[in-house]
Amino acid sequence: MCGFVCLWNAGDESLANRMIAKIAHRGPDAVEVARLPGTQTVMAHCRLSIIGPEDGRQPIHQTDDLLVANGEIYNHQDLRAILGESAFLTASDSETILHLFRSGEARWISRLDGMFAFVLATRDRIIAARDPLGIKPLYVARLGDGYAFASELKAFDGVEVENIEAIPPGTLYDSQDGWRQWYRTPQGAAEAEPDLDVGRTARELRLVLEEAVAKWMVADVEVGSFLSGGLDSSIIAAIGQKVRRDAGKGPLKTFSVGTAGSPDLLAARAVADHIGSDHREYVFTAEDVAEALPHVIYHLESADVDLVRSAIPTLFAARLARRDVKAVLTGEGADELFAGYTYHHAYVDQPRALADELTRTLGTMHNINLQRVDRATMAESLEARTPFLDRDLIDFAQSIPAALKLCRTDPAALESTGATTEKWILRKSCDDLLPADLVWRKKAQFDEGSGTVAALDGALRGLIGKKGAVTRAEEGLLYEKILRGQFENPDRIIENAGTWSADRVAV
């Protein structure tokens, strides 16, 4: 995990150094700047070493090619075997990007399995691309007659660039061939066929999920797990604990945050006891929230009320986890795949519309939930991994009828009360992993279950100097004021910021 800057046909090493310094929190282990000889291409990279810690330094320069990458390629060992180990000069998973490109295959990028953003330059060509759902960020802007690329918006602050935009998920830009959308989210299925074996579907989902977690735990350093006590993170932690146990390793380290006595802390403690993880907690207060707000907003690169609220506990969890590990698993993606949000209940009798909505929201995650997770964790130099967003798991989950994701009743675990159960097929597939009362626990948003909303209310009253309740409008104005005070060109940040309130997943 890391951050990078690339200047193509513009700028120099001095500018690259200034830009990478603004995102150096993404990679505290090493910072390097390199020019591709004989060209106007300069790249800078800050590294958090996860795979190939001894020789995985970047930028990677081989003959006439220069590469910077952010993320993890989980099938890099398989690709090495296919491409030929003798071609590789390092143990870095990122080097596989370079050799796949050199293979000359038309769709070489589609063979990368993982979360990534990268820029690759030859003497006369630049290529930039992003993973299928945009787990890893990548921005591009005009700089003179060339382009500037960066992992975060703040790298452009104070630089005379124009037309900053995010490279879309699953998209590749090639200065030789133009833009390509190399990945499209598969359309979700709607109604269940009459002869569909639901039990077999649930069992297969479990197998695919277990493979995804095992894959996303591959690292040369220890990987822990966030644990909110909710369904999604509990499933991931339970499977992660099993992966470590089967490998003969010690217990999984799990991390939970919340206000004193909050539901999330209590539920997470129960899950940790059940699965036998090595559990750590952090209890925060309204004073902690007030102190952290400027840091959260600066790194989040957004003043959106819902994003800020959800980023606060994520930041505290990242700080806690970073004391012990460099990487953590998270439960992001389950709500979008399996219909976990409150507003999804309105679709209970409309499986086709629900399937379409889930497909749509998967395509918007990069600018909301995934932006929050990336920025809040990387602010603390921590890598967040999202196994629910594994490509194989996405493919399988999208093939499951939406009618099995949101059900009016659950005859397997609930009495026939007419209640609507979200993520039904996911719960059924994992109901032996965790206590029944947790498997069928109703969803609470992270900022609610952790107690953030109540703590934030106290923090806001103190910051604004108001005795009564702070309105949402006042909250938003405060966040924007804080953001504007931290950037030379705040309008650029705001124009490109993630806005959760613009998408219905915030209902």
CA distances in angstroms from 307 to 8, 482, 505, listed in the order given? 33, 15, 11
Predicted TM-score (pTM) of the model is 0.93
Sign of the four-CA dihedral 154, 155, 159, 160 = negative
pLDDT confidence tier of residue 467, bands split at 50, 70 and 90: confident
Give the residue with greater pLDDT, 350 vs 53: 350
Residue 501: the pLDDT is 54
Residue 440: the pLDDT is 81
Question: Given a cut of 50, is residue 417 above it in pLDDT?
Answer: no
Q: Which two tokens stand for residue 426?
A: 């996911």
CATH 3.60.20.10 positions along the chain are: 2-181
pLDDT confidence tier of residue 290, bands split at 50, 70 and 90: very high
Question: Given a cut of 60, is residue 366 above it in pLDDT?
Answer: yes
Question: Given a cut of 60, is residue 410 above it in pLDDT?
Answer: no
Residue 413: the pLDDT is 46
Half-sphere exposure of 61 (CA within 13 A, CB side): 13
Residue 354: the pLDDT is 97
The strand order across the sheet containing 162-166 reads 30-35, 41-47, 2-8, 146-150, 139-143, 162-166
pLDDT confidence tier of residue 55, bands split at 50, 70 and 90: low
Question: Given a cut of 80, is residue 92 above it in pLDDT?
Answer: yes
Q: Which residues pair with 3 in a beta bridge?
A: 46
Give CA–CA dist 262/253, Å, rounded: 21
375-402 mean pLDDT: 97
Backbone φ and ψ for 235, nearest 5 degrees, come out as -60, -45
223-244 mean pLDDT: 96
44-54 mean pLDDT: 82
pLDDT in tens, 1-43: 699 999 999 989 999 999 999 999 999 988 999 999 999 999 9
The answer to whether 372 and 379 are in contact (CB under 8 A) is: no
Q: Which of 88-97, 167-176, 318-327 has the lowest average pLDDT? A: 88-97
Residue 90: the pLDDT is 84
Q: Look at the domain 2-181 and name its fold.
A: Glutamine Phosphoribosylpyrophosphate, subunit 1, domain 1 (3.60.20)
Other CB atoms closer than 10 Å to residue 461's CB: what's the count?
16
Give the residue with greater pLDDT, 18 vs 409: 18
Q: Report the percent of the chain where pLDDT is more than 70.
A: 93
Give CA–CA dist 118/131, Å, rounded: 9
Q: Is 6 one of the catalytic residues?
A: no
Question: Given a cut of 80, is residue 507 above it in pLDDT?
Answer: no
Nearest to 189 by CA among 339, 15, 41: 339
CATH 3.40.50.620 positions along the chain are: 198-498
Architecture category of domain 198-498 in CATH = 3-Layer(aba) Sandwich (3.40)
Q: Which of 8-17, 37-46, 64-73, 445-454 has the lowest average pLDDT? A: 445-454
Sign of the four-CA dihedral 436, 437, 440, 443 = negative
Q: Which two tokens stand for residue 209?
A: 């999920």
Question: Given a cut of 90, is residue 468 above it in pLDDT?
Answer: no
Residues 6+ apart with CB under 8 A from 37: none
pLDDT in tens, 110-158: 999 999 999 999 999 999 999 999 999 999 999 999 999 999 999 999 9
